[in-house]
Amino acid sequence: MTVRVSRLDNGLTVVTDPMPNIMTAAVALTVNAGARHETQAQHGIAHMLEHMAFKGTATRSAAEIVGAIERVGGSLNAATSHENTVYAARVLAEDVPLAVTLIGDIIENSRLEPEELAREQGVVLSEIGEAEDTPDDLVFEMMSETAFPDQPLGRPILGTRDSVRAMTVDSIRGYLSGHYRPGSMILSAAGAVDHDSFCAMAADAFRMSDGREASSFAPARYQGGITTRTRDLDQTHLVLGFEGAPTGSDAFFTADIASTILGGGMSSRLFQEARERRGLCYSIYAYSWGFAETGLFGVYAGTAPKDVADLSDVIRHEICAMAQGVTEDEIASACAQSKAGLLMSLENCASRAEQIARHLVVFGEVLPAEALVARLEAVTAQDVSALMQRLAAEAEATVSIVGPGAPEAAAQRIAAAYGSGR
């Protein structure tokens, strides 16, 4: 493995992963600050800052930023999650210095002007409206808010209409200065890069110096419960959730294998039983999300309102059946799917650049692919059954439904099947 890690004098971590015979490179700045680092009054501000960073710096206008990267055939983008914000660029090898310079500029020198904020508030309000108009997005937001009530981890990353309208340039600057510190940032690159040269570029582009400790967030408290929204739709959208496992833990790898067996593909138990044999739905899948100290595990499905009860019974039946046991063939197939996804992602510069930074956050080091594959292969049928036994018999469920009619009654029925419901 060719990964190298350095820490600059100002605290910025730099990590590179050269890829032979690649003529392009991906550069990513991972800031360990996201929606979980917000106070209630700052709700949505991490995402707004991501938008505002591209709206002009002390030396470049917004048009000049995108013009500079697109003139060389590159791309520049960003994304906000609950636990971090990533600013990423993809360029030809000779344009890596430009990518580093642009990312450094938008982080260190953003103008954050009131006129641009007013425009971006309108853009984000449209994003919120789009999410609310998309029931299979809305139902997941409802599930998160119910699983982690009155906590940053449960709040929508976009914020609310009121919180977005209340944002000011000063409040954004406050979040920026409080959380965007060199010690909380990782600049990574994969592809056609040289580590020593890349470190020199990073030192030149990121001149900020802040000796304060990296920001943190309060541990999440999973609660569970029921939330429903009546909508005049042709389908009912259902999410069943349980507390899952932290990213990087052995339990997380078990949950990954379990979710694949339960609903991770066309050969999964839920797809075969609910869709192929019974025709109860078009879309159904299981999910496993990991966070620093907790996670979420569950099932999403969209079905006709008349089939909600039958479909929820199928989901319950398959969870209970897996609690009784899974086959070695199922374990092997799920492991192969996860292994293939992992190894295929390593062939992509952008995925690799973000992944090596993520490893440093989660594991404190960049793990070779072989180590991750070994952890997947270490999951046993007994591990998976033990997880499903907890869900079937002990777990507090989260049930969220968006659809026509009276979804509350359906949600209560589903929650009661798992010994919960309120």
Active site residues: 50
Hey, what are 119's tokens? 């425009």
Kindly tell me the burial class for residue 208, based on how many C-beta atoms sit within 10 Å of its own C-beta (0-12, 13-18, 19 or more): middle
The H or E element that residue 410 is part of is: helix 407-417
**End-to-end CA separation in angstroms for the chain:** 52
Q: Which of 18, 337, 353 is nearest to 187 (CA)?
A: 353
Query: In Å, how far are 6, 18, 222, 229 from 399, measured between CA atoms?
Result: 45, 45, 13, 12
DSSP letters, 84-147, are -EEEEEEEEGGGHHHHHHHHHHHHHSB---HHHHHHHHHHHHHHHHHHHT-HHHHHHHHHHHHH
Q: How far apart are CA 70 and CA 75, in angstroms?
A: 6
